[in-house]
């Protein structure tokens, strides 16, 4: 009996404790005082939740968060007992809701343009600060457009019953002020013409205050670039003729002396010696001061420290003026300490597996934070082609460590299409294609293609595994069956050019292995088998050239080959390259006693591309490629389908793929040079989707080494030049090019302009 009482007592105590615990938990949250705005505005910021205890710090935090939303003038909270818990009541006083925004007097500027310049919208909260800022923004907008004497006022009408407010802006636009005269004085070392160009102001043009302010800074930058560090640009007179809407400006320029750098000193640097810090700087002792070189040098020093993990290092320059006209540059350095990476997180990859991204990392956890490695890692992930955007965030853990977050935004990596296309080489063709660059999120690439048309039938299957069995070796397999009608173009004495036709069939496949090493280098080896047949030779073929084609018409011929290549790739983005370079040397060996087959030749090629970033996202790109092919016993000639034909969308645009440049049956030597000036036309989330290009191509092909020349002209052996313009369009699966090329080296009377629609990049 005693034991039963004890158990009942324990149950009573536990029940009392549990009930008391529930009494201290939130049972209900209610919000009072809401008229126009939704309760969700408050609920979204509350830390107080149902079935959670209430604390004074959490209540204070909630009140601050409610007021921080900007919707309320005041907020209070009350905590009271409720059935089996607590009732938390938030009572708020709303700001007036904007019901309407009106403009009067805006005769020259549309309402929507003004509205876009202010942070004020219907159904948002109103306060006097918002009104004052809106008036200032409107005034600045008008002044930017040249309405220098514009005036603005406002009237508000509040409905106290609904707590809604209507706002009317009264605008007196005035007239756009034009520049009557600009007077400069004091500029003895830089011509007035150069200064006015930097100011961006011209007589009889509209005066824009913002452009004028920017121009003043550009004039100062112009002088500092030439060493005039004490430059002052003073507006000493401004006269506005309101009736004539004209303005006269008078500026005085106090140039001061032209300085040179007498010495560069460092202080408090322990990680690098003075000599190490001086290495690679644009500035040096006894050199005229240039502002751009000065700024580049400070960035260079900061980057050096960041590459060692000192991302919090402070570079504090001090210019000490000395006589005569000398300046001592003292760079004080606060190194702070090395920052280490604790954890690396990947966010946003719903499809792509983590390991697919992580294997591109050249940074590691528990290593010093290296800015250069982080940037290169970001570039390598971009080059996978799976992501629209990659943002990097740092979370400070303590004084010495940070967590690194790669926030990725995936993009579609597959494309199934049916369509038609046209190329100068194959004419009109239809196609069915499926491409997936990130198969099952594992980074594998699969491509299936069927092309069909009057001159071409093409079946291709391609598969690539970039990390075979988790190793750093890539594996690729290709299978193809291509049947193509070829043109054989040659010159004759009667009409100048003749075209004969024959068919060319390729059946075979290849297997490829690759290995990346030393970060930017890659070696590849592959074996290929190609069974080729040349047939259906045009019956009307000129007898002088029939032998050249019939030599290939021996039934099926097998090409068994092995290919070796070595490449170096430092491009920042392989899909939209702005900087870096790409170089590759390749050898293809066919035949020999080991490989077998009917064709025996060796084919060598060398290519190099370089990309120069210009202002904004404009890029200058150059590409050069040279190659040669030599046959050896027992083959008496190199196959026509392995020789080099110059022209068309892949080499020198503006010329036909065959017949315009080089020997009629293909060259054994070739050289091609391309220059492109690229610029963005449309961007989405900082990614260029549509790109324009101006280009110039030069190329030639020769039968014998003695015929090779780098001269450009219309001669038989001379290289030919073409130029034109194009558009590049980026799709999730592949880039598309549309080019117009003009072949200036073609004979008079021949069609010199050609259009090209091509899938893939030229270089």
Angle among Cα 350, 354, 359 to the nearest 5 degrees reads: 140
What is the predicted pLDDT for the residue at 17?
39
| Burial of 591 per CB tally in 10 Å (0-12, 13-18, 19+) | buried
What is the predicted pLDDT for the residue at 538?
64
Which residues make beta-bridge pairs with 697? Answer: 674, 722
Of the candidate CATH numbers 3.10.20.310, 3.10.520.10, 3.30.360.10, 3.40.630.10, the domain formed by 178-254 belongs to: 3.10.20.310
| Burial of 454 per CB tally in 10 Å (0-12, 13-18, 19+) | exposed
> Could you tell me the sign of the dihedral formed by the alpha carbons of 606, 612, 618, 622, in that order?
negative
Q: For 239-259, what is each residue's pLDDT tens digit?
A: 877 666 788 889 999 999 999
Looking at domain 340-410, does it have CATH number 3.40.50.800?
no
What is the predicted pLDDT for the residue at 140?
86
Asked if residues 738 and 756 have their Cβ atoms less than 8 Å apart, the reply is yes
Whole-angstrom distance, CA of residue 342 vs CA of residue 400: 9
Asked if residues 693 and 655 have their Cβ atoms less than 8 Å apart, the reply is no
Closest to 315 measured CA to CA, from 328, 292, 334, 329: 334
Phi/psi of residue 545, nearest 5 degrees: -115, -5
Residues of the chain with pLDDT under 70: 1-23, 242-244, 415-429, 487-501, 538-554, 685-687, 731-734
Residue-wise burial string across 669-702, b where 16 or more C-beta atoms lie within 10 A, e elsewhere: bbbbbbebbbebeeeeeebbeebebebbbbbbbb
Q: Where are the domains of the chain?
A: 2-94, 97-172, 178-254, 260-334, 340-410
744 CB-near residues (< 8 Å, 6+ apart): 654, 721, 722, 723, 752
Chain CA centroid to CA 306, Å: 23
Closest to 340 measured CA to CA, from 261, 399, 281, 264: 399
Measure Cα distances from 722 to 275, 422, 667, 700 in Å.
49, 20, 19, 12
Output the six-digit token pair for 196: 């006015």
Cα R_g (the chain), whole angstroms: 37
| Superfamily of domain covering 260-334 | membrane protein fhac (3.10.20.310)
What is the predicted pLDDT for the residue at 267?
93
Helix (H) or strand (E) run with residue 371 in it: helix 371-382
Q: Could you check whether 178-254 and 340-410 share the same CATH topology?
A: yes
CATH of region 2-94? 3.10.20.310
Whole-angstrom distance, CA of residue 585 vs CA of residue 578: 23
556 CB-near residues (< 8 Å, 6+ apart): 531, 532, 533
Helix (H, G, I), strand (E, B) or coil at 589: strand
Secondary-structure percent of the chain, ordered helix, strand, coil, rounded to 5:
20, 45, 35
Asked if residues 26 and 47 have their Cβ atoms less than 8 Å apart, the reply is no
pTM of the model: 0.63
CATH of region 97-172? 3.10.20.310
């Amino acid at each position: 009996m005693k034991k039963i009482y004890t158990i009942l007592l324990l149950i009573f105590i536990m029940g009392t404790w549990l009930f008391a615990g529930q009494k201290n938990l939130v049972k209900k949250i209610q919000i009072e005082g809401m008229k126009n705005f939704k309760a969700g505005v408050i609920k979204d910021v509350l830390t107080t939740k149902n079935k959670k205890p209430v604390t004074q710090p959490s209540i204070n935090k909630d009140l601050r968060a409610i007021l921080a939303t900007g919707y309320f003038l005041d907020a209070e909270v009350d905590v009271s007992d409720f059935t089996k818990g607590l009732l938390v009541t938030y009572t708020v006083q709303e700001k007036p809701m904007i019901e309407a925004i009106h403009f009067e007097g805006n005769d020259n500027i549309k309402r929507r343009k003004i509205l876009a310049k202010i942070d004020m919208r219907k159904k948002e909260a109103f306060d006097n600060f918002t009104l004052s800022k809106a008036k200032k923004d409107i005034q600045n907008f008008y002044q930017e457009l040249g309405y220098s004497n514009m005036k603005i006022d406002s009237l508000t009408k509040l409905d106290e019953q609904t707590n809604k407010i209507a706002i009317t802006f009264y605008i007196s636009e005035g007239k756009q002020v034009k520049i009557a005269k600009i007077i400069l004085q004091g500029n003895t070392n830089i011509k007035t013409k150069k200064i006015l160009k930097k100011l961006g102001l011209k007589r009889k043009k509209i005066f824009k205050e913002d452009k004028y302010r920017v121009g003043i800074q550009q004039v100062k930058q112009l002088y500092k670039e030439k060493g005039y560090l004490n430059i002052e640009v003073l507006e000493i007179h401004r006269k506005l003729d309101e009736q004539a809407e004209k303005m006269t400006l008078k500026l005085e320029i106090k140039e001061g002396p032209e300085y040179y750098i007498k010495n560069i000193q460092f202080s408090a640097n322990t990680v690098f010696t003075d000599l190490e810090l001086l290495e690679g700087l644009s500035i040096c002792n006894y050199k005229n001061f240039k502002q751009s070189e000065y700024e580049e040098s400070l960035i260079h020093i900061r980057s050096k420290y960041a590459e060692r993990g000192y991302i919090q290092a402070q570079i504090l320059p001090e210019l000490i003026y000395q006589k005569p006209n000398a300046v001592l540059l003292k760079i004080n350095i606060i190194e702070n300490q090395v920052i280490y990476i604790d954890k690396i997180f990947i966010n946003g990859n719903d499809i792509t597996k983590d390991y697919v991204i992580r294997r591109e990392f050249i940074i590691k956890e528990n290593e010093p934070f290296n800015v250069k490695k982080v940037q290169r890692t970001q570039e390598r992930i971009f080059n996978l082609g799976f992501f629209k955007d990659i943002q990097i965030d740092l979370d400070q853990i303590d004084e010495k460590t940070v967590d690194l977050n790669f926030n990725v935004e995936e993009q579609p990596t597959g494309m199934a299409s049916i369509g038609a296309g046209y190329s100068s080489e194959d004419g009109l063709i239809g196609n069915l294609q499926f491409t997936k660059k990130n198969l099952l999120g594992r980074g594998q690439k699969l491509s299936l293609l069927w092309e069909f048309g009057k001159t071409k039938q093409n079946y291709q299957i391609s598969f690539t595994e970039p990390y075979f069995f988790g190793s750093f070796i890539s594996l690729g397999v290709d299978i193809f069956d291509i049947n193509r009608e070829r043109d054989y173009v040659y010159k004759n004495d009667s009409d100048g050019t003749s075209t004969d036709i024959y068919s060319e069939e390729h059946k075979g496949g290849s297997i490829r292995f690759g290995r990346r090493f030393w970060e930017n280098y890659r070696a590849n080896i592959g074996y290929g088998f190609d069974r080729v047949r040349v047939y259906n030779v045009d019956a009307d073929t000129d007898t002088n050239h029939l032998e050249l084609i019939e030599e290939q018409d021996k039934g099926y011929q097998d090409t068994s080959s092995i290919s070796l290549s070595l490449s170096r790739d430092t491009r920042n983005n392989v899909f939209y390259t702005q900087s870096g370079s790409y170089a590759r040397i390749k050898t293809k060996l066919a035949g020999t006693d080991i490989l077998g087959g009917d064709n025996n030749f060796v084919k060598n090629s060398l290519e190099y591309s370089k990309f120069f970033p210009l202002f904004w996202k404009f890029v200058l790109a150059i590409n050069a490629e040279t190659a040669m092919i030599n046959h050896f016993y027992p083959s008496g000639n190199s196959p026509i389908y392995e020789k080099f034909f110059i022209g068309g969308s892949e080499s020198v645009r503006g010329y036909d793929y065959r017949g315009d440049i080089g020997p009629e049956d293909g060259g054994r030597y070739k050289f091609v040079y391309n220059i492109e000036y690229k610029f963005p036309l449309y961007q989405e989330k900082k990614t260029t989707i549509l790109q324009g290009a101006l280009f110039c191509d030069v190329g030639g092909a020769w039968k014998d080494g003695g015929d090779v020349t780098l001269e450009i002209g219309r001669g038989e052996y001379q290289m030919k030049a073409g130029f034109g313009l194009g558009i590049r369009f980026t799709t999730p699966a592949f880039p598309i090019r549309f080019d117009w090329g003009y072949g200036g080296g073609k004979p008079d009377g021949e069609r010199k302009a050609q259009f090209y629609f091509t899938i893939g990049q030229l270089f």
